Structure 1
Amino acid sequence: MSLNELIPTLFFHFTRPPPLPTLFPYPTLSRSPPCLLHPSPRPAAPPAVGAPQAMVRCAHCGLHLPASDAVRGTDGTPFCSAAHRQVAERA
């Protein structure tokens, strides 16, 4: 047998056979995690946001914070912390 006759027959020996057919989706579903087969109910909505609060500005550093969180000075001036109130009262 010559090389010219051998090349076509060797070509078909080196190619891959076609893939075997699969049974979709049956094998896929059997291997799926349980969360995909039976989804859990959606979580409850987050609680509603409270009403807006009045904001004040720290007299020392200028930070804006809710009025309920402010530390008040002797004259009612708002501060963001007791340390800033002490610094302002010393001056």
Structure 2
Amino acid sequence: MTIQGQKNEQAMKVFKALADPIRLTIIQYLNGQDHEVTCGEVDQAIHIGKTAGSYHFKLLQEAGLITARKVAREKYVALDRSTFDRYLVHFWDNL
């Protein structure tokens, strides 16, 4: 695959991830946080179940929109603003 093809594939992942209202709500919630939070905290805050949350976090992470790290049984997530800056100029102005 060419470099341009890889960029297009990544851009499609980003836009697909943001096209879902639940994932957009997750992004909005994380945007309001100034630190990493657990997936469980996000699930409770936006009222989704653990299974649904796991699915959405996976897609957001694959798109590069969030970072995730696991500590023992907890998974911590945060926004990866560099991806937004690369693909979505002025995104935060419109949120």
> What TM bracket, shorter-length normalisation?
under 0.3
Larger Rg: 1
Whichever structure has more helix as a proportion of its residues is 2
TM-score normalized by the length of structure 1: 0.16
Q: Which has the higher contact order (CA 8 A, sep 6+)?
A: 2
